[in-house]
Each structure stands twice: as C-alpha cells, then as structure tokens.
Structure 1
Amino acid sequence: MELSLPQWGQLFTLGMIAIALGMDAFSLGIGMGMRGLLKRQIVIVSSAIGLFHMLMPLLGIGVGRFLSVHVENIAVMVGGGLLCFLGINMLVHSIRGGEDPVVLDVTTLWGVLFFSLSVSLDSLSAGLSLGLFDADVILAVLLFGMMGGLMGGIGMWLGRNMGTWIGVYGEAVGGLILLFLGLRFIL
C-alpha cells in the first residue's frame, strides 16, 4: 500500500511529535537511571511510560475533538498555540536545569505509576492539539507509546551507565521540535 503525500506529512508530523514527547521521557529517564535501576526495573518503568504515553494523548484527543466541534474557526490556532506552549515549557525547564525534589521509588507499583503519569502529562496537551487537528488517532497513540517507552528506557539505561549531561540536551531538542511544529500550525 502506497501512502499519499498528506498521509506521509501526517506520519512525519506525528513522528516528530512522538520523538519530542519521547525526549522528555528520555531526559527524566536519565535522572531515574542514575539511581542504579536494575534491568528488570527499567523494562517495567519504560513499559508503564509507554502505556501512559498512549492513554494520556487518547484522553487529550477525545477532549480536543469535542472542543473542535464547538470552536471550529480557532481550533488550528489553539492547537498550534498548545504545541508552542509545551515546547517553550520544555525549553525553559531544560535551561533552568531544575531537578525534581521528589524522589520516586520505582520499586513500588505506586512509584512506577506516579513517575509514568508525571512523564506523560505533556502527552495529554499534545493529544488535545491533535484532537483539534483531527489526526489519525491509532497512528498517533501507537507512535507516542512506542517512542515514549523506548526513549524512556534508553534514557534510564544511559543514566545508569553514562550520567546527566545527555538529559538537558534531550529535553531542549524535544522542546524545539514542539515549538517548531506549533509555529508551523499557527503561521
């Protein structure tokens, strides 16, 4: 099956958003990995991150589709604005370099769930934007889940083995990607 030009464009855009959202999981995963996680724990946490990177955008897409019916004329501007806001937020966080003061214990179910939820919150607003744009839900959710889980796992593995310097750059790159895509929709 051959894809049309608009389908390639949507695949590329969703892939870039998935990578940008995955960069946040990557950078936070590095910090978590520096605590000396076992391989089994990395697999469990990255799987949970992938699941939440699928559930949160799905919720956001549902809300975005509901809102797009009621605000048809400004839906694209709102969605682009949300992506820009999310990108700027990630950039500011990476520049400030603030560490989360809360230390999560990912050896417990609640710790895994809370960490995965907190890493995936930005996926909710990205899903809201995609709901306003009427994006392919299945493709978006699968890409977000795969990239979030994969990049979170890679971040935890690198953090376990390499250190902190990668995390700051990963979040900054993700923020720039979201900002660029948001501006593309607005302009």
Structure 2
Amino acid sequence: MQMASVHSGQLATILMMAFALGLDAFSLGIGMGMRGIRWRHVLMTSLLIAVFHMILPMLGMMAGRYMGLLLGQVTGLAAGGLLALLGMHMIYNAFRGGGQVMKPTAWFGMLLFSLSVSMDSFSVGLSLGMVVNDMVLIALSFGAVGGLMSVLGLTVGRQVSGRLSEYGEMLGGIILFVFGLMFIF
C-alpha cells in the first residue's frame, strides 16, 4: 500500500471544506439549542453528526470515484459544478429561512436531525471522489470538524436567542460555491 503525503495546501483546502460543511451543523445547532436541549443530548447529537459527517462523504467519494472513471476528462467540471450548486442551494436556504422544528431529544429525533444536517457532506464527497485520493483523511476531517462545530452550535444556541442560524449556512454555502468555481476554472 503506497501512502502519499498530503501537502499543506491540500490539508488547508480539506479543512476549509470541512469548516464549510460544519457551518451547516453549527447554524442548525444554534437553532436547535435555542429551543432548549440537555448536555447529554448535545453530546449524543454531536457524536451522531460526526459519524454521519464521516460515513456520508465516504459513500459519496466512492460513488464519485466511479463517476470519475465514467466521465473521464470532464470530472473537474462535474465536481466543480456539483460543489457550486450545493453552495448556491445552501445560500438559498439561508435566505429562505425555515429550518428544523423538531427537538432532537429522543433517539429517533437525534438520528433524523444528525442525518439531515449531514446530507450535504454526501454531495461534497461525491464531488471530491472524482478528483482526490485521500478519502480517509477527508472523512476524518469532515467528522471531527462537523462534530466539534455542532457541539459549539448547540452550546451557543443554549446561551443566546435570536435569528443567528441562517448566517452560518450562508457562509458555508459561499465557501462551497467558491471551491466549486475553483474546480471549474
């Protein structure tokens, strides 16, 4: 097994993408935390988010690698287009408002909330699977950052009130959109 080292530019890019995805968990966590949630639910929900932020990108990257073989030379355009669309969708959702109305205090509620917060990571994984090789590092980075940012968001939400949650999703969408454009151009 040949292990290729990741240079600092690649690591910075991976961490910025993990941060962008984590902002979604952070922003929705603020909204959920403002509804009142116990510390053990904060920890369990954040752990579930971290697990889904690892599993879903891995599945996406596996599918993306297969798509990359099928698409050949246009994989960079396809990956960039998917990231840009995902970013625009996150920005649209931030302007649209709404959000989660469920209080994730039961196992099913925590599982459903964690899965819904993590679904974007599958799409990003699909895009990344077409152009990158280090799937484990990406999945671990996405999981660690997503879990930490959800703890932070749920904790902040417990402490503050108001409409703060849409700004995190908007910033995450802008970051993903910019990375998508970088893949295309």
Residues 134-163 of structure 1: CA deviation (Å, up to 9, x unaligned): 241111001100111111111111111112
1:25 is matched with 25
Residues 111-149 of structure 1: CA deviation (Å, up to 9, x unaligned): 111111100000000000110012411110011001111
In structure 1, give the amino acid aligned to 2:32: M
Could you tell me how far apart the structure 1 residues matched to 2:53 and 2:7 are? 22
CA RMSD of aligned residues (A): 1.5
Q: Which runs of 5+ in 2 are unaligned?
A: none
The answer as to 2:1 corresponding to 1:10 is no
* TM-score, normalised with respect to structure 1: 0.93
1:141 is matched with 139
2:42 is matched with 42
Q: Which runs of 5+ in 1 are unaligned?
A: none
**Aligned-residue offset at 1:12:** 1.1
Confirm or deny: 8 A CA contact 2:30 2:154 kept in the other structure. yes
**Aligned-residue offset at 1:104:** 2.5
Residues 78-98 of structure 1: CA deviation (Å, up to 9, x unaligned): 100111011111111111222
1:75 is matched with 75
- 2:122 is aligned, of 94, 109, 124, to 124
- 2:159 is aligned, of 144, 158, 161, to 161
Could you tell me how far apart the structure 2 residues matched to 1:54 and 1:173 are? 21
Could you tell me how far apart the structure 2 residues matched to 1:135 and 1:43 are? 31
Cα distance change, pair 135–16 in 1 and its aligned pair in 2 (3 A): farther
**Aligned-residue offset at 1:67:** 1.0
Cα distance change, pair 165–105 in 1 and its aligned pair in 2 (3 A): closer
* TM-score, normalised with respect to structure 2: 0.93
2:102 is matched with 104
Confirm or deny: 8 A CA contact 1:10 1:135 kept in the other structure. no
In structure 1, give the amino acid aligned to 2:79: G
Could you tell me how far apart the structure 2 residues matched to 1:137 and 1:147 are? 15
**Aligned-residue offset at 1:110:** 1.1
